[in-house]
Amino acid sequence: MAKKPVRSPEPTGPAGLTASTARPVATPGHRARPLAGSGSASARASAFAPAAAPGRTSLPPLDPRRYAPSDERPVRAKSRSMDSHVDIQAHRHDWGQFVFSVSGVVRVNTERAAFLLPPSRAVWIPAGVEHAVTAVERCELRTLYLHRPPCGHEVWLGNRVLEVSPLLRELVVQMALDEVQQQHAVADRERWLAHLILDEIRRARSLRLGVDLPTDKRLRRLCEAVLADPQRFANLEDWAGLVGASARTVSRLFRQELGSSYAQWRQQALLAEALRLAAHRKPMGVIASELGYASASAFSAMVTRTVGMPPSRFFEQV
């Protein structure tokens, strides 16, 4: 095990983080991931969902058709408790989805990226986008299903990470609670909640978070190993050896697959890890030290350059 490096700020890079999921089960209202066959499409599918990690439990999505949105009920809410060893299998919906955790940290994975979400952050998943969910720790998941995107702007065609305001959090919690208790016709209360929820989502600030992931199998394994334990090795040579490649080959793959250097990509991975540590109320100096930075000021400079705001503001609602 290599000694933790002392690291100064690095240049910024692209955004976008993934975890192991098992083969999904087709259920009503969901489209299961295609089985591996021949050609590039099957290679991408297998890279997105490798074998489930030992000690983890892989479960299918929870009763999706029951919560399907419609013209009459354009916003539906669902709650789910997840233990720290649980993964929700890869699947896709015919509607858009807004996911966050009321408590605990959760990771939402797509084919090319994944997003580490403390309770103050949520991710928007457009209709048809395959995704899986991994509990980093015990969490209380809340999901909104939207019949249509919050508005017609093109930004809603892709994944977005958004801040969850206290008002939005409580609105979603109440709607999910009403879904369990309500047994008959749609109440006026649900319509009012839906209007307020959509308005809050439109107003929510978008954040540039996440870590891009490659489709190349070797580079994918390396990236997932870094995300699992960012301080395991001090240099690229050791990480490359983990997947049986040279540092030169890995550097070339980073450029080809992700359009960035390893240092730029690793900076995004460290920022995601910092979010998890901040969710546990660790002081900024401790976070900087655990991530290998020489000082809190060096870490602060990296965060400010990457997300456009100082850590005091970026982590204030985590």
Residue 240 pLDDT: 95
d(C-alpha 241, C-alpha 2), whole Å: 13
- For the structural domain made of 217-314, what CATH number should be given? 1.10.10.60
Residue 306 pLDDT: 76
d(C-alpha 275, C-alpha 284), whole Å: 11
In the chain, which segments carry CATH 2.60.120.10? 30-207
d(C-alpha 285, C-alpha 277), whole Å: 11
Convert 80-100 to b/e letters by CB count within 10 Å (16 or more is b): bebeeebbbbbbbbebbbbbb
Q: Which of 4-13, 225-234, 251-260, 280-289 has the lowest mean pLDDT?
A: 4-13
d(C-alpha 233, C-alpha 220), whole Å: 17
In the chain, which segments carry CATH 1.10.10.60? 217-314
Residue 169: band (very low, low, confident or very high) from pLDDT cuts 50, 70, 90 = very high
Render pLDDT for 111-166 as a digit per residue (tens, 0 to 9): 888 788 888 899 999 999 999 998 988 999 999 999 999 999 999 999 999 999 99
Render pLDDT for 249-300 as a digit per residue (tens, 0 to 9): 999 999 999 999 999 899 888 888 888 888 788 888 899 998 888 888 998 8
Which residue carries 């319509």 as its tokens?
A: 191
The CATH class of the 30-207 domain is mainly beta
Q: Which of 52-66, 145-159, 169-183 has the lowest mean pLDDT?
A: 52-66
